[in-house]
């Protein structure tokens, strides 16, 4: 029963990702609006995978990834970055910060489900 943490400031994107995640059997959606909110959720709930946007207020996705990778209890949680930035250097930036995979907007639902499944199965 995977718990999926979605870190995204846009309610539209959160709802959209939520719809996609509902199609992963027995999965539970945990929502966070920014990096700080995500860290709070991580400390209070068991999380199996993180889907995070890069551009967010308060704490962006890259900073969140660095903090997660630096915390022993969270460092092995797979992280998928979801962002508007499709340039190669942005991908490198996210992956070198510690993200496991990278998806660009507009997100294709099947691609998102396939990617999440590849980390939780």
Cβ neighbors of 64 (< 8 A, separation 6 or more) are: 7, 35, 38, 39, 50, 52
Q: Report residue 78 as tokens.
A: 């797979």
Q: Does 92 bind another protein (CB under 8 A)?
A: no
| Cβ-based nearer residue to another protein, 17 or 49 | 17
**Candidate list 4, 20, 52, 54; residue touching another protein; CB under 8 A:** 20
Q: Does 114 bind another protein (CB under 8 A)?
A: no
- Whole-angstrom Cα distance, residue 57 to residue 36? 9
User: What angle (nearest 5°) sits at the alpha carbon of residue 44, between those of residues 38 and 47?
Assistant: 65
**Candidate list 3, 100, 109, 117; residue touching another protein; CB under 8 A:** 109
Polymer length in residues for the chain = 121
Q: Does 1 bind another protein (CB under 8 A)?
A: no
Stretch that binds another protein, among 31-39, 42-50, 65-73, 108-116 (CB under 8 A): 108-116
CB of 12 to another protein, least distance (A): 4
Q: What is the DSSP code string of 51-82?
A: EEESS-SSS-HHHHHHHHHHSTTTTTS-EEEE
Q: Does 25 bind another protein (CB under 8 A)?
A: no
Footprint on this chain of another protein (rule: CB under 8 A): 10-13, 15-16, 19-20, 84-87, 104-110
């Amino acid at each position: 029963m995977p718990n999926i943490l979605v870190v995204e400031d846009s309610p539209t994107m959160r709802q959209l990702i939520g719809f996609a995640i509902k199609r992963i059997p027995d999965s539970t959606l945990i929502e966070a609006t920014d990096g700080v909110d995500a860290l709070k959720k991580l400390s209070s709930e068991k999380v199996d995978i993180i889907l995070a946007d890069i551009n967010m207020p308060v704490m962006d996705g890259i900073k969140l990834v660095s903090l997660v990778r630096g915390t022993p209890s969270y460092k092995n949680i797979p992280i998928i970055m979801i962002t508007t930035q499709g340039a190669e250097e942005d991908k490198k930036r996210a992956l070198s910060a510690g993200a496991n995979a990278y998806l660009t907007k507009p997100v294709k639902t099947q691609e998102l489900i396939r990617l999440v499944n590849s980390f939780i199965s």
